[in-house]
Amino acid sequence: MAPENLQTMTLSKALNAGLRAALAGSDRVLLMGEDIGRLGGVFRVTEGLQAEFGERRVIDTPLAESGIVGTAIGLAMNGFRPVVEIQFDGFVFPAFDQITTQLAKLTYRHEGALSLPVVIRIPYGGHIGAVEHHQESPEAYFAHTPGLRVVSPSTPNDAYWMIQDAISSTDPVIFLEPKSKYWQKGEVDTSARALPLHASRVVRKGTDVTLVGHGAMVTTLLQAAALAEAEGTSCEVVDLRSLSPIDYGPVLDSVRSTGRAVVVQEAPGSASVGSEIAATIAERAFYSLEAPVLRVSGFDTPFPPAKLEGVYLPDADRVLEAVDRALAY
């Protein structure tokens, strides 16, 4: 029998459990969003929480993202810790002004005297065959904005702990949830955190090439690493977990060991998080590199219709092609 503190959960259920723990831990924590109460959210991440904590703690809002985030900012200024759900990634843009102009800047504007502990949960990324505005990877916008923290779990255990740590943060946190992994199961240790909120980690050891990614791409990198191993190539995989700030320690240590790096993301490649990581590796581990830092990403186009997402999204084959190019130098 498994220990009581170890439970197998999907990523969505792990988020639900983490939110429940945060709500139970403080009556200042509030959840807000479209259809998150009675329905439990489109992805059922908040299922059952309104029945347990009431309509004043788990609040169904009007369909108005700017108003939702603006209200959360006002609540945070008055001592609450609101957790906002943006129903789909493409719907965050009506709230973009509130997030980047107000939420990200008010603490700085008040010289640190005012904190804004707001968490904005955003299901993001592809792989589910959704329609326009329902599959986006907007992380670069927020990682580029000073004053925001940006994180993305790739496993149920990380989801359980990272959502609680994000809610505990005194700074606003953009919490990116890889929607294609909501149904992925994994073991959750409810007794102890594995890592701090902004720590990256090596999830597979290797010696020849370092693969770096976040969110849903971590699964793709592990698939590519397994296929590469069958062909005699050893790939080390680093899960970033946090996109702002980025914990470069494990990334640079890995690259200094392998001498090669491939950075992978679903988002378009130009002016992206992957671009920043590649530049930093080249700057800080230059003398360890035996090949250029390579990037695999979505293309610089709007996210395509569902039938074409398999062409657009990086898969194990595209990652392996980059691995082969890195090894050819």
Q: Does residue 174 lie in a domain region?
A: yes
Query: Are 86 and 217 part of one and the same domain?
Result: no
For the stretch 97-147, pLDDT in tens is 999 999 999 999 999 999 999 999 999 998 877 878 788 999 999 999 999
pLDDT above 90: residue 248: yes
Q: Does residue 242 lie in a domain region?
A: yes
Query: Are 290 and 161 part of one and the same domain?
Result: no
Q: Does residue 267 lie in a domain region?
A: yes
End position of a domain, from candidates 189, 218, 236: 189
Query: Are 172 and 213 part of one and the same domain?
Result: no
Contact 26, 60 (CB under 8 A): no
Q: What is the pLDDT, as a whole number, of residue 178?
A: 97
pLDDT above 80: residue 4: no
Report the DSSP beta bridge partners of residue 29. 81
Cβ partners under 8 Å of residue 269, min gap 6: 275, 295, 297, 298, 299, 300
Tell me which residue has tokens 């992206």: 272
Query: Are 84 and 181 part of one and the same domain?
Result: yes
Query: Are 61 and 107 part of one and the same domain?
Result: yes
Quote the number of domains for the chain.
Answer: 2
- The CATH number that applies at residue 238 is 3.40.50.920
pLDDT above 90: residue 3: no
pLDDT above 70: residue 83: yes
Query: Are 177 and 224 part of one and the same domain?
Result: no
d(CA 72, CA 117): 9
Query: Are 286 and 142 part of one and the same domain?
Result: no
Query: Are 167 and 262 part of one and the same domain?
Result: no
Give the structural domain span for 212.
201-328
H/E segment holding residue 262: strand 261-268
Query: Are 231 and 312 part of one and the same domain?
Result: yes
Q: What is the pLDDT, as a whole number, of residue 133?
A: 79
Query: Are 213 and 246 part of one and the same domain?
Result: yes
- The CATH number that applies at residue 15 is 3.40.50.970
Tokens of 103: 């939420």
Q: Does residue 57 lie in a domain region?
A: yes
pLDDT above 60: residue 1: no
End position of a domain, from candidates 136, 154, 189: 189
Phi-psi region of 145 (alpha: psi -120 to 50; beta: other; left: phi over 0): beta
Active site (annotated) includes residue 198: no
End position of a domain, from candidates 130, 160, 189: 189
Q: Does residue 215 lie in a domain region?
A: yes
C-alpha torsion angle, residues 218, 222, 228, 229 (rounded to 10): 150
Q: Does residue 137 lie in a domain region?
A: yes
Tell me which residue has tokens 């990614």: 213
Query: Are 124 and 162 part of one and the same domain?
Result: yes
Give the active site residue among 110, 127, 133, 134.
Answer: 134
Tell me which residue has tokens 């200024």: 77
Q: What angle do CA 188, 192, 197 make, to 5 degrees?
A: 85
Q: Does residue 130 lie in a domain region?
A: yes
Q: What is the pLDDT, as a whole number, of residue 2?
A: 58
Query: Are 72 and 108 part of one and the same domain?
Result: yes
For the stretch 51-74, pLDDT in tens is 999 999 999 999 999 999 999 999
